[in-house]
Structure 1
Amino acid sequence: MASTASAAPAAAPAAAADRATSPAFLIEVPPVDVPTQVARNQLVVQKGGSGVDVLEQERWVSPPADEIRRALSGDLAARLDTFDVYGAPYPNGVPVYRITVNVRRFDSWLGSRAVLDAVWSVRKVGSESVLTCHTLAQVSVGPGYAALVDGHRQAVAQMADEIAAAVRAGASGRGAPSTPSGQCATGKPSSGKVGAGAA
């Protein structure tokens, strides 16, 4: 019987939705890019130096790109006391920060570690400046598939911490922060995929 795995966060308490005041800004988290080899419902685990096993009996509830986006959206909304307006209209006059994520590695080492290597950007909609940063999260895991999935959940949470710090810095005008994985860069967006979406 196939098992299911999910990196999505638990639902936030209903009381969190009853805010007395409107958020200072909104966030927009578009779909996340992931490597082709893990863009499937089956769990893909590393084997040896460069091989992988595709586990037909161990599956994500939804493809990893969707799981990462859902978890990241929930984490950021909770950390920043706001909500994700991707795919929904939003009022004029409220700042919106668009967060674009390109996952370079999403490695699963059973009984060892979960690795998330991603480049992400934060751009205020309508601004000509984009902040681009790098997160490398490596989480040690215990035996079993549930521990591996939880390790990926923790890795996404680490990335959410770094992105939330960047959004706060941008909203307060403090400029580009540093992250545990390395320095961030800021400037006008190029024609590259990360951070180059239309305002």
Structure 2
Amino acid sequence: MMFARLPRPPRGLVRGAVVAGAVAGLAALAACSSPSSRFYTLGADSAAGSAAPVSARTSAAPPWLIEVAPVDVPPQVTRNQLVVQTGPTQVQVLEQERWASLPGDEIRRALSTSLTQQLGTIDVYGTAYPDATPVYRVSMNVQRFESWPGSHALIDAVWSVRAVRSASIMTCRSVVSEPVGGGYDALVEGHRRALQRISMQVASAVQAMAVAAPVAAPQGKGAVSGGKASVVGVPACPSDGGAAVAGS
């Protein structure tokens, strides 16, 4: 019986197939071993308890409303990755530690939630509201948002409360530093505490502005040209970390 010898494949083809298989195996191994990203948010409320479902309901209209504008943050932290300080002039961008949304959005959402809970009112930013209802617009410019792992979390913010349809405005500055332990969870929690302290100052300012409502300008001495509204008794900034910058 005679057997026919099959042709041997070229050595180059065999070598190429082996290399391609090895590369594919290494790529699959790298994909499996690469660490997954972790996402953090400033909006979680530890006092809210369990995430039990809440039935839909309509609350009575509050006597006044707030309008929390978008928040400005420093350009170096305007990204999803956490940016931590490694020295006075050095930072590190953490690819696997990320914010759930951009820091400015995280701060605005957390600030809005805190203020509406403290004041028992509604944030009407981007929503129509009655002309007869007083509205207080909250604006914030975060000038420093520093994350020092194992040391502290710092927020330095200039913020204002303005009575819409009025010249009444209060502008303040808050510098809050919260000590933190090790780990990035502790660092984010430190920023949450710092922002909560600032939101308490803002809430006090809104309440003070609501009490010191604008009145009509008297005729004669001190009257505003054209008979427009005049502002009296614009309150001072809250004492806990809030320094007055400008008045009406």
Give the match's secondary structure for 2:182. coil
Q: Which residue of 2 aligns with 1:151?
A: 190
Partner of 1:160: 199
Residue 184 of structure 1, CA deviation:
2.0
Displacement, 1:109? 0.4
Change over 3 Å in CA distance of 1:17–1:142 after alignment to 2: farther
Give the number of equivalent residue pairs.
187
> 1:27-42 alignment to 2 at 5 Å?
27-42=66-81
Other-structure match for 1:6: 41
Give 1:148 deviation, angstroms. 0.5
Query: Using CA pairs below 8 Å that are at least 6 residues apart, which structure has the higher relative contact order?
Result: 1
Change (3 A) 1:10 1:181: closer
Note if contact 1:138-1:155 (Cα within 8 Å) is conserved in structure 2.
Answer: yes
How much does 1:182 deviate? 4.0
Distance 1:76 1:10 in 2: 13
Q: 1:16 to 1:123 in 2, by over 3 A?
A: farther
Distance 1:186 1:118 in 2: 14
Task: Tell me the secondary structure at the aligned position of residue 184 of structure 1.
Answer: strand
**Paired residue for 1:181?**
241
Name the structure 1 match of 2:148: 109
Instruction: Tell me by how many angstroms 1:176 deviates.
Output: 2.2
8 Å contact kept, 1:9–1:74: no
Partner residue in 2 for 1:191 = none
> Which protein is richer in strand relative to its size?
1
Kept after mapping to 1: 8 A contact 2:158/2:172:
yes
Larger radius of gyration: 2
Between the aligned partners of 1:149 and 1:127, the Cα distance in structure 2 is 37
Name the counterpart of 2:87. 48
| 1:130-145 alignment runs, 5 A limit | 130-145=169-184
Q: Which amino acid aligns with 2:129?
A: Y
Q: How far apart are 1:185 and its partner, in Å?
A: 4.2
After TM superposition, the score normalised by the length of structure 1 is 0.88
Q: CA RMSD in A?
A: 1.9
CA contact (8 A) 1:176 1:186 kept: no
Q: Which structure 1 segments of 5+ residues have no match?
A: 189-199
**Which structure has the highest helix share of the two?**
2
State the 1:24 CA deviation: 1.4
Which SS does the other structure have where 1:71 is aligned? helix
Moved more, 146-155 or 177-186: 177-186
Deviations 1:136-159 (A, max 9, x none): 110011111111011101111011
Distance 2:176 2:65 in 1: 26
